[in-house]
Structure 1
């Protein structure tokens, strides 16, 4: 199996979120994942959430990585998204009230990704998520063993879907 890895350095500036989305879209298109494919749309939303968290909550530079593992005929079967930063603060999921304008990012990640987690890396941490092109995969011990990280967040039944419906087409539609 072939794995393509690309990365982008992110400055601690909110304008970097839009740049990260555009970069991710172009890399996905270059790997054969069409921009209008649900996988691409979901990945761009996940990029938005994880990069926003890094920019807003750490105030430090970060590195965004996309890893695309290829299956038969070079088609991407799993896409892994990682954001590494130098902050040692662990990502903390929050439950936000109806009127809150923030605090739903990790709930979205939990609801949209097939797998996600975080682990210490060097002087900071790495938060990651994976999407399968055919969303039939189940997290296995193999995934944890290969990444060195385990899933660290509780399930948010219904919360991610509600937040995505409220913000999916408005906050993340424009680049």
Structure 2
């Protein structure tokens, strides 16, 4: 399986979050992953959350990395990593309903199939993975089930 691995240097500036989203979207389109719209939108949201965390909580440069499967692959894993120069572990927070922040890692946990972090050099790398799988949609279409009825839901065709 062919995997495209790309990276982007991120400055410690909140404007970098928008640049990271645009960059990731263009890489998705170029890899063929962009055809899977729900996966692409989820990945862009995850890019936004992890880059925001790196910029806001460390105030240091970071590196955004994407590992994208080639477009001939029906099912594969898309991996996103943000490496920063802070050795502080990421800490999910519990916030009340009126808080304007503090939900980033909860979103990552809810949207990604897997996520974690590890020390990297003098800092750390926070990563998440999304499984790209067209098979359930193909099975549903084979049996005449409207795929959009179940859009955004996790399901297994047995």
* Interval containing the TM-score (normalised by the shorter chain): 0.7 to 0.9
Secondary structure in 2 aligned to 1:84? strand
Q: How far apart, in 2, do the equivalents of 1:34 and 1:5 lie?
A: 15
**Kept in 2: contact 1:76–1:133 (CA 8 A):** yes
**Kept in 2: contact 1:9–1:62 (CA 8 A):** yes
The residue number in structure 1 matching 2:111 is: 112
Q: How far apart, in 1, do the equivalents of 2:48 and 2:87 lie?
A: 21
**Kept in 1: contact 2:8–2:65 (CA 8 A):** yes
TM-score in terms of structure 2 length: 0.80
1:35 positional shift: 6.5
The residue number in structure 2 matching 1:41 is: 41
CA RMSD in angstroms, aligned pairs only: 1.9
Structure 1: unaligned runs, 5 residues or longer: 137-175
TM-score in terms of structure 1 length: 0.73
Q: Which entry has the higher C-alpha Rg, 1 or 2?
A: 2
Secondary structure in 2 aligned to 1:116? strand
Matched residues, number: 135
Secondary structure in 2 aligned to 1:47? helix
- In the TM superposition, what are the counterparts of 1:1-175 in structure 2 within 5 Å? 1-34=1-34, 37-70=37-70, 73-74=72-73, 77-134=76-133
Structure 2: unaligned runs, 5 residues or longer: 136-158
